[in-house]
Amino acid sequence: MITTPIVAGQQLPDLLKNPTTRQLVQYAGASGDFYEIHYDQDFARSTGLPGVILHGLLKAGFLAQLVTSWAGRSASLKTFEVSYRGLDLPGRPCRCRGVVKAVDGSTAELEIWTEDPDGQRTTVGKATVELL
Amino acid sequence: MSGAVDGPTIVDRLKAKVGWSGAERVTTVEAGHLRRFCEAIGDDDPRWREEAPPTFVVALGSETPPLPEALEYGKGWLNGGDAFEYLEPVHIGDTITSSTSLVDAYEKQGGSGGLLFLITETEYVNQHGRVAVRNRGTRIRR
């Protein structure tokens, strides 16, 4: 929850996720995305991947959690967009981070991203939040 | 009559489908579904016991457009990105009607060969006839 005025440059508290293959199966079931690259190692490798990878939309879900847990119930998310730039594998921590880029009246623009353990930004995006 | 050896390419056939819309889906947002979705993400905010978190609407439809032509290109799908616009909250018990349209199709050369980009738009309309969420998806064949 936000307790102080929002200013540009402010960082959101990091959200650290430790995704597992079990979580990928959970997400496959809950989202209805049963594409095999997310739970079948042989299939994933047959498409040229190093192994099963996180669903892009699971990483989007992590980043949405980063934003909504920071903004709180009284704020409302207006736009949220992400590009999946790199592969994330289960067993590798996925750190979700964000920073306030600009504040205009009651609207805050955020830059958000996921970072792998090598510091590579594997998902990048932005969000607009209306602070009430 | 000699056979046409060079028919339209997969990309040309998909470009010709720009404007195509998939079947309408009508789904009621169920408490158990919402709970399992939040558990899968690992988001235990009590707010989501009534309201859907921002990416939930994707679970009401299919991630990749059902375009058989696309499957002839490359070896698999990758997700390139998602953009959401939020107009109204989605709650348990809401009935959401959605359909996905193909809005663009193009090819790019990547480091290890061609990539086919399919851009889709999906509107999620609630039982009051108002658009609750819009999604623009970038789906890639490689």
Residues A75-97 have pLDDT tens digits of 999 999 999 999 999 999 999 99
Sign of CA dihedral B122, A59, B105, B77: negative
Give me the residue spans of the domains in chain A: 15-19+55-130
Tokens linked to B10: 């997969």
Q: Report the pLDDT value the prediction gives residue A100, as an integer from 0 to 100.
A: 98
Question: Which of A17, A31, A40 should one mutate to test binding to chain B, selecting the residue with the greatest count of B CBs within 10 A?
Answer: A31
Determine whether the interchain pair B82/A57 forms a contact, defined as Cβ–Cβ distance below 8 Å: yes
Sheet with A76-84: strands ordered across: A15-17, A94-104, A107-115, A121-130, A76-84, B77-86, B131-141, B113-125, B95-110, B25-28
Q: Report the pLDDT value the prediction gives residue A1, as an integer from 0 to 100.
A: 56
Chain A's closest residue to B142, CA to CA, is A47
Say if CB A64 and CB B74 are below 8 A apart.
Answer: no
Give the C-alpha separation, A80 to B71, whole Å. 29
Give the C-alpha separation, B139 to B82, whole Å. 9
Q: What's the whole-number average pLDDT of chain A?
A: 96
Name the percent of chain A lying above pLDDT 90: 95
Identify each DSSP E strand in B2-130 by its residue range. 25-28, 77-86, 95-110, 113-125
Task: Give a yes or no: residue B47 inside a domain.
Answer: no
Q: A118 to chain B, minimum CA–CA distance in Å?
A: 21
Give the C-alpha separation, B46 to A49, whole Å. 37
CATH value at residue B72: 3.10.129.10
Give the C-alpha separation, B106 to A65, whole Å. 32
Q: Report the pLDDT value the prediction gives residue B3, as an integer from 0 to 100.
A: 42
| Arch. (CATH architecture) of A15-19+55-130 | Roll (3.10)
Task: Indicate if the pLDDT at residue A72 is higher than 90.
Answer: yes
Task: Indicate if the pLDDT at residue A2 is higher than 70.
Answer: no
pTM of the model: 0.95
Longest dimension (CA), chain A: 52
Domain range for B118 is 10-29+60-141
What are B3-40's pLDDT values in tens digits?
Answer: 445 678 999 999 999 999 999 999 999 999 999 999 99
**Between A and B, how many residue pairs show a Cβ–Cβ distance under 8 A?**
111
Task: Give a yes or no: residue B40 inside a domain.
Answer: no
Contacts of A74 in chain B (CB under 8 A): none
Q: Which residues of A touch B (CB under 8 A)?
A: 17, 23, 26-27, 29-33, 35, 37, 46-49, 55-58, 60-62, 64-65, 67-69, 73, 76-84, 125
Please, what is the Cα angle at B85 between A129 and A106, to 5 degrees? Answer: 20
What are A106-120's pLDDT values in tens digits?
Answer: 999 999 999 999 999
pLDDT tens per residue, chain B (142 residues)?
A: 444 456 789 999 999 999 999 999 999 999 999 999 999 999 999 999 999 999 999 999 866 777 889 999 999 999 999 999 999 999 999 999 999 999 999 999 988 789 999 999 999 999 999 999 999 999 999 9
Write down the ipTM of this complex: 0.96
Overall number of domains in chain B: 1
- Cβ neighbours around B133 below 10 Å, total: 26
Residue B50 sits at the chain A interface (C-beta within 8 Å): no
